[in-house]
Amino acid sequence: MNHKNIVERSLISKKGDLKYLGMKNGELYECIITTENPDKTSNAAPIGVLCKDPEHVILYLYDGTHTLENIKRSNFFVVNLTKNSLIFTKTTLSDISEDNFKYYKEYPYIEEADAFFMVKTEKIKDITKNNSLGSANMSIITGKVKNVVKIKEFNQPLNRGIYAVIESLIHYTRMNLADKNTQISYWGRIKEMNRVVQKVGSKEDKLSMKEIITKIKSEYNNLE
């Protein structure tokens, strides 16, 4: 198709190995997933990607999203890594235009990404998830990592774990100056950050949250 740019020769591609991108087993990273729409245009959406092992990722997708429909139809998706917050913002608030995509062997990626990799769907499991707002249908996608490509000087993938720890530490240090109601509010926030860390973080992040929570429980009463 003539609207699809040829990938630049300078791109370095490696066979599926997420260690090459600094991704670690069991951690969940903030990424942008690009897929192909039925009309052959491209779709982009910000989605958490769990690194199962260096060759496999897992996605949890709600029913009714373009990303899920596209993956179920075409059996592939591309995971884009970026540190540019504007790309996350634009893909969340609206659809981005076709100008923002490039193509690597027919697979759409985001031109401004730092790195990306192609994934072939291996397994799709449909589940119903119950939460405080009711129940929702979801699919759990397991995919096999194919080519991994660095575009720019690539640093590391975006993991929220350490930021949740730092935010918890900031709240902890403010607790001793705060009144009881504010302490309870900070404590609620720290428990929320703990949930984030248990979901996305590293071993160090999880151990950090355990130490912070133990410390707070030893210093403050009646926070629950």
Write out the residues near its own copies by the rule CB under 8 A: 22, 30, 46, 83-86, 88-90, 92-93, 133, 155-156, 158, 160-163, 165-167, 169, 172-173, 177, 201-202, 204-205, 207-208, 211-212, 215
Between 169 and 223, name the residue whose CB sits nearer to its own copies. Answer: 169
- Tokens in use for 169? 């530490």
What is the smallest separation between the CB atom of 86 and its own copies, expressed in angstroms? 5
Between 5 and 89, name the residue whose CB sits nearer to its own copies. Answer: 89
Between 73 and 215, name the residue whose CB sits nearer to its own copies. Answer: 215
**Selection from 68, 47, 113 nearest residue 86 by Cα:** 113
Between 6 and 133, name the residue whose CB sits nearer to its own copies. Answer: 133
Residue type, 204: E
What is the smallest separation between the CB atom of 120 and its own copies, expressed in angstroms? 27
What is the smallest separation between the CB atom of 132 and its own copies, expressed in angstroms? 10
Between 6 and 93, name the residue whose CB sits nearer to its own copies. Answer: 93
Q: Which residues contact 99 (CB under 8 A, 6 or more apart)?
A: none
The secondary structure element, H or E, covering residue 59 is strand 56-62
What is the smallest separation between the CB atom of 22 and its own copies, expressed in angstroms? 8
What is the smallest separation between the CB atom of 6 and its own copies, expressed in angstroms? 28
Between 90 and 102, name the residue whose CB sits nearer to its own copies. Answer: 90
Look at residue 154 and give its three-state secondary structure: coil
**Selection from 120, 119, 153, 156 nearest residue 10 by Cα:** 153
DSSP code at position 199: H
In angstroms, the first-to-last Cα distance of the chain is: 60
Please report, to the nearest 10 degrees, the dihedral formed by the alpha carbons of residues 194, 200, 202, 205 taken in order: -20
What is the smallest separation between the CB atom of 191 and its own copies, expressed in angstroms? 15
**Selection from 148, 32, 150, 41 nearest residue 89 by Cα:** 32
